[in-house]
Structure 1
Amino acid sequence: MQLIWLRSDLRLHDNTALSAAAARGPTVAVYLLSPQQWQEHDDAPCKVDFWLRNLAELSTALGQLNIPLLIRSAAHWNQAPKVLLELCHELNIGAVHVNEEYGINETRRDQAVAHALDKVGVTFNSYLDQLFFAPGTVLTKTGTYFQVFSQFRKVCYERLRHSLPGIVAAPGKQAKLSISSDKIPASVDGFATPPDSLRALWPAGEAEARRRLETFADAHIDYYLSERDFPAKPGTSQLSAYLAAGVISPRQCLHAALQSNQGEFDSGNVGAVTWVNELLWREFYKHILVGYPRVSRHRAFRPETEALAWRDAPEELKAWQEARTGLPIIDAAMRQLLETGWMHNRLRMVVAMFLTKNLLIDWREGERFFMRHLIDGDLAANNGGWQWSSSTGTDSAPYFRIFNPLSQSEKFDAQGLFIKHWLPELAALNKKEVHNPANVGGLFGVADYPSPIVNLSNSRARALAAFKNLPSRQAVAGGGDE
């Protein structure tokens, strides 16, 4: 009997470990509920709810193939070896199959499980699935992990041209087993069920993920480069939550992009090329997790930035978290996050730079807050993005490159449509006033909307001084707002 241990791979199609298990013999699937571990990882309630809803969809799909899906509890991952050993003994399992996951805790968990199973003669088979290339196989000429994305991407392109990863066939129907699937819980203690309005934005299941991918590849990918930075436009794929839970695979996304671009990676349709680039950014950050494990431990990628004099400003942090900074593009973006579990990628950079540069608050505060609210929360991508924005990470923005929220707002939401959608209290302002209501005049500005909590010019100068004062930082001339 084969056991497929499902984790962040909640799909039937193009699932390497599932197909490998089914090819070896009668197969049973298991998923471990680990609420204590999820809380330690700051997983959002809407994300946990999304996993559970996708598990229910997957259970139905597996049931049609006579593959039972069992649910077991291992509150913390250190309980996983014991729980899986008991299950293997109970069902007379000969081999356990998993798709590789990355990060310090994930790696230690899998090593502990493999060791425990080996002692009783159960083989532990691990497969490359959520990446195109195994970490450690895309290296510099000196044998180290890349720290610059453009160089990493170049090697990936060369490798993909010679050997494109194929789509794995879905398993076929197996003979019925005398094992029944377990009921998928509707919720887990410690994680509140999100409102129906949020859940409706993210329907569960592979069919929905594939529909989104097909719609994007057919109708939007051509305009991805020109429209992806405008939050009021439907310019992005809206697939990140499905990728994070493994409801769709990066290989499926890559094949769809190439199909829309006559098989080209870096020529032809600029929208498709740009989107493939984003898939490779996702890949890059997961390789960074493995190559530089300190980023899994709440440490800055650039060690010298650990000496930054971050400000302890709880009231300003709270204003940022609660979408009341007095800067409309920041507050609209934060409301989008709080109400939908998702934020437009351009705005993730804008709000992150505002927190870490204008407020000079530690990037880890932002990283944690995002994880606690994102339906697509992913350690590698979230950490990579925050460290990029705060100039503490790999390939990060130069410290003197600080997005100005007002100019970003005027450039990417020129008509104020995004702002007015999320901040209806500003709906009466014209398209010039809406970006900076503090300039409208009157003793108290716009009713029901706060004044800015920080002076952008002064706070920018403060951030530049803090970075220039780092022990090993050479002062860099030039640079400016964007």
Structure 2
Amino acid sequence: MNIIWFRNDLRLYDNKVLCSAIADAQQRNAAVVGLFIATPDTWQQHNMAAIKQDFIRRRVVCLKQELAQLNIVLHTLEGTDYAATCDVFAQVQQHYKIKVFVQTDYELDERLRDHKVTACLESAGNELISFDSQCIMPPGSICTQQQTMYKVFTPFKRNWLSRLAEQGVQCLPKPKTLNVANGQLVDLHLTAYSTMQNGDNSSIKWPVEQNEIIDQLRDFCQHKVADYEKKRDFPAISATSKLAAYLAIGAISAGQCVARLQLEANDTWSLAKTGAEVWLSELIWREFYKHILVAYPDLIKHHAFQTETDNIRWSQDQTLFNAWCSGNTGYPLVDAAMRQLNQTGWMHNRLRMITASFLVKDLQLDWRLGERYFMSKLIDGDFSANNGGWQWAASTGTDAVPYFRIFNPITQSERFDPKGDFIRLYVPELASLDAKAIHWPHKNTQLSTAISDIKSYAAPIVDHAQARKITLALFAEVKKTDESTSKD
């Protein structure tokens, strides 16, 4: 029996694991079944957002129906943590000779889980076959001339694009309906685990049917990507793809995204600063951070990429952190962004940079606090992308340039929400202010008092100009200490 163990590859199209398991089964005249094991305790330990958990569960329900049309049963089981997965396969192999087909995971706990499952299977003469298909270019395939991992994005991207030009991108079609011997589907009798329970329906606004997801990709590439470079930074405009959530659970592949982009955008995907080229860069950033994670596994333990910055003396002020989390900092765009996250489980990418910069550079709070908070709220939470983004904003990661990454939240607001439309949507206390006053309502003392007394909008919790000086001093101190240590 071939078992397709679905994890972060919840799709039929361009699924190398699924296609390989079917092809192998047809060669050997073996049965094929799908398996998905929910592990809510581990999800909780990894700060997975409730909305993402619900999203996964809803997608699995659809996947089960889609696989049924291929004559494949998907068994959905509810374990507790990753240890439960070993128990599942230990039970299965008591009754069947099995091959388990999986997509490679990159995170540490997931690697340890797979190592234990592999050992369990091999002890009974079975095997786990893994396919490294999360990225178009698997980790380790894009290297410097010294065969080391790039630490800067631009040369990585250049090499990545060169490789793409050489080999292109080929997406696997949806498999054909499977013919099972005697028309019978194999049933697993696993009484130790109940059928996977439903979620809280918090992700209901996000479609999970395969055709709807593909339609969303097609619509973006046909109608929005041309203006992506011009409009992507304006949160009041629906100009982004919102496909990150689907990439995070593998409901769509990076290969599908690039193939569709090339098909719909013609030659513009390779022309600098076109909407298609800029969106392709975002997909390459996603792969860059996965390559970084594999090359530097200490990142999974929340260590800084620039190791000397682990010595920065971050503030531990819980009151400031709570104000940031709840969207009550007194900085309108920061507050609107955090409220969007809390209310919807998603945040516009420009706002992710602004809020992250504010937490670290204005409040001097440890970036890890924000990293974990984002993971606990985001429907598209993905460790490598989230960690990479936070370390980029905190100037502790790749391409670290502290001076140029202290965003001014007021000028960012004026530039990217010029009319204040986004702020009004999530900070109704300020809805009556005009486009000039809404970005910094505290500039006029009388106006500030009116807002505080009547509309209860928060007073600024920090002075940006002063905070900037403190942050530069913190990084300068660490750099000085590091240089002094290097000379000793």
Could you state the TM-score of these two structures normalised by the residue count of structure 2?
Answer: 0.92
Greater fraction of residues in helix: 2
Partner residue of 1:186? 198
Q: Output aligned runs, 1:386-425, within 5 Å.
A: 386-425=390-429
Is the 8 Å Cα contact of residues 216 and 237 (structure 1) preserved in structure 2? yes
Aligned to 2:76: 71
- Structure 1 residue 143 and structure 2 residue 155: aligned? no
- 1:429 maps onto 2:455 in alignment: no
Partner residue, 2:24: 24
Letter in 2 for 1:470: V
Q: Which residue of 2 aligns with 1:152?
A: 156
Is it true that 1:457 corresponds to 2:461 in the alignment? no
2:233 paired residue among 207, 229, 233? 229
Partner of 1:85: 90
Residue 59 of structure 1 aligns with an amino acid whose one-letter code is K
Query: Please, which moves more after superposition, 199-208 or 432-441?
Result: 199-208
Counterpart in the other structure of 1:478: none
Cα distance in structure 2, aligned partners of 1:404 and 1:340:
25
Report the CA distance between 1:131 and its aligned residue: 0.2
Whether the aligned pair in 2 keeps the contact of 1:104 and 1:293 (CA below 8 Å) is yes
Once the two structures are superposed, residues 414-433 of structure 1 have per-residue CA deviations (whole angstroms, 9 ceiling, x without a partner) of: 00010001111211000000
Q: In the aligned structure 1, how far is the partner of 2:159 from the partner of 2:479?
A: 34
Following superposition, the deviation at residue 313 of structure 1 comes to: 0.6
Secondary structure of the residue aligned to 1:89 is coil
- 2:309–2:396 Cα contact (<8 Å) kept: yes
User: How many residue pairs align between the two structures?
Assistant: 466
Residue 296 of structure 2 corresponds to 292
Match runs of 1:287-326 below 5 Å: 287-326=291-330
In the aligned structure 2, how far is the partner of 1:264 from the partner of 1:166? 19
For residues 154 and 137 of structure 2, what CA distance do their matches in structure 1 show? Answer: 16
Once the two structures are overlaid, the 10-residue window that deviates more, 117-126 or 39-48, is 117-126
- 2:93 match: secondary structure: helix
* Secondary structure class of the residue paired with 2:43: helix
Residues 229 and 346 in structure 1, CA contact (< 8 A), matched pair in contact too? yes
CA gap 1:48/1:409 in 2 versus in 1, 3 angstroms: same
What per-residue deviation string (whole Å, max 9, x for no partner) do you get for residues 228-249 of structure 1? 0000011100111111011111
Cα drift, residue 473 of structure 1: 6.5
2:48 to 43, 68, 82: 43
Query: Structure 2 CA distance, aligned partners of 1:313 and 1:34?
Result: 33
CA distances 1:184-215 after superposition (whole Å, capped 9, x unpaired): 4213xxxxx254xxx34212122221111011
Are the aligned partners of 2:101 and 2:129 in contact in 1 as well (CA < 8 Å)? Answer: yes
Q: Deviations over 1:129-160 (max 9, x none)?
A: 21012211211111111110001111111111
- CA shift, 1:32, in A, is 1.0
What CA distance in whole angstroms lies between the structure 2 residues aligned with 1:269 and 1:352?
Answer: 25
Question: 1:101 Cα deviation (Å)?
Answer: 1.3
TM-superposed deviation, 1:89 = 3.1
User: Kindly tell me: are residues 409 and 111 of structure 1, through their superposed partners in 2, closer, same or farther at Cα, counting changes over 3 Å?
Assistant: same
Aligned to 1:177: 184
- SS at 2:133 equivalent: coil
Q: What are the ranges of 5 or more consecutive residues in structure 2 without an aligned counterpart? A: 26-30, 189-193, 484-488
Q: Note if contact 2:402-2:472 (Cα within 8 Å) is conserved in structure 1.
A: no
Q: Identity of aligned pairs, percent? A: 39
Amino acid paired to 2:58: R
Q: Which residue of 2 aligns with 1:480?
A: none
The AA in structure 2 aligned to 1:21 is: A
TM-superposition CA deviations, 1:257-285 (whole Å, max 9, x none) = 11123256432781111111110000000
Structure 1 residue 445: deviation in Å?
3.9
Distance 1:85 1:177, change over 3 A: farther
Equivalent residue number for residue 356 of structure 1: 360
Give the distance between the partners of 1:377 and 1:99, measured in 2 at CA. 19
Kindly indicate whether residue 68 of structure 2 is the aligned counterpart of residue 34 of structure 1.
Answer: no
1:222/1:270 contact within 8 Å kept: yes
| Aligned-partner residue type, residue 99 of structure 2 | A
Matches of residues 204-243 of structure 1 in structure 2 within 5 Å?
A: 204-243=208-247
Equivalent AA in structure 1 for residue 64 of structure 2: S
Q: Is the 8 A contact 2:78 2:196 kept in 1?
A: no
Q: C-alpha separation between the residues in 1 aligned to 2:428 and 2:47?
A: 31
Alignment-mate amino acid for residue 24 of structure 1: D
Deviations 1:33-55 (A, max 9, x none): 11111111100000000000000
Give the Å deviation of 1:122: 1.1
> Against the structure 1 CA distance between its residues 93 and 226, is the aligned structure 2 distance closer, same or farther, given a 3 Å change threshold?
farther
Secondary structure at the residue paired with 2:102? Answer: strand
Equivalent residue number for residue 347 of structure 1: 351
Q: Taking structure 1 as reference, are residues 332 and 276 closer, same or farther at Cα in structure 2, changes over 3 Å only?
A: same
Q: CA deviation at 1:381?
A: 0.3
CA pair 206-233 structure 1, distance change in 2 beyond 3 A: same
Q: Distance in 2 between matches of 1:409 and 1:249?
A: 33
Measured at CA, do residues 450 and 264 of structure 1 come closer, stay the same or move farther in structure 2, by a change above 3 Å?
closer
Q: Which residue of structure 2 lines up, in the alignment, with residue 257 of structure 1?
A: 261
Q: Take 2:22 and 2:267, find their aligned partners in 1: how far apart are those partners?
A: 31
Q: Which amino acid aligns with 1:4?
A: I
- Shift of residue 71, structure 1, vs aligned partner: 2.0
Give, in whole Å, the separation in 2 of the partners of 1:93 and 1:278: 43
Counterpart Cα distance in 1 of 2:135 and 2:374: 23
Please give the per-residue CA displacement for 1:454-482, whole angstroms capped at 9, x wherever unaligned.
Answer: 0011111111111100055689xxxxxxx
Q: Distance in 2 between matches of 1:78 and 1:420?
A: 47
How far apart in 2 are the matches of 1:238 and 1:371?
17
State how far apart, in whole Å, the 1-side matches of 2:196 and 2:219 are. 30
CA contact (8 A) 2:393 2:405 kept: no
CA offset digits 1:431-458 (Å, max 9, x no partner)? 0000011124326241221111100111
For 1:84-123, list aligned pairs within 5 A.
84-90=89-95, 92-123=96-127
Matched-pair contact (CA < 8 Å) for 1:389–1:397: no
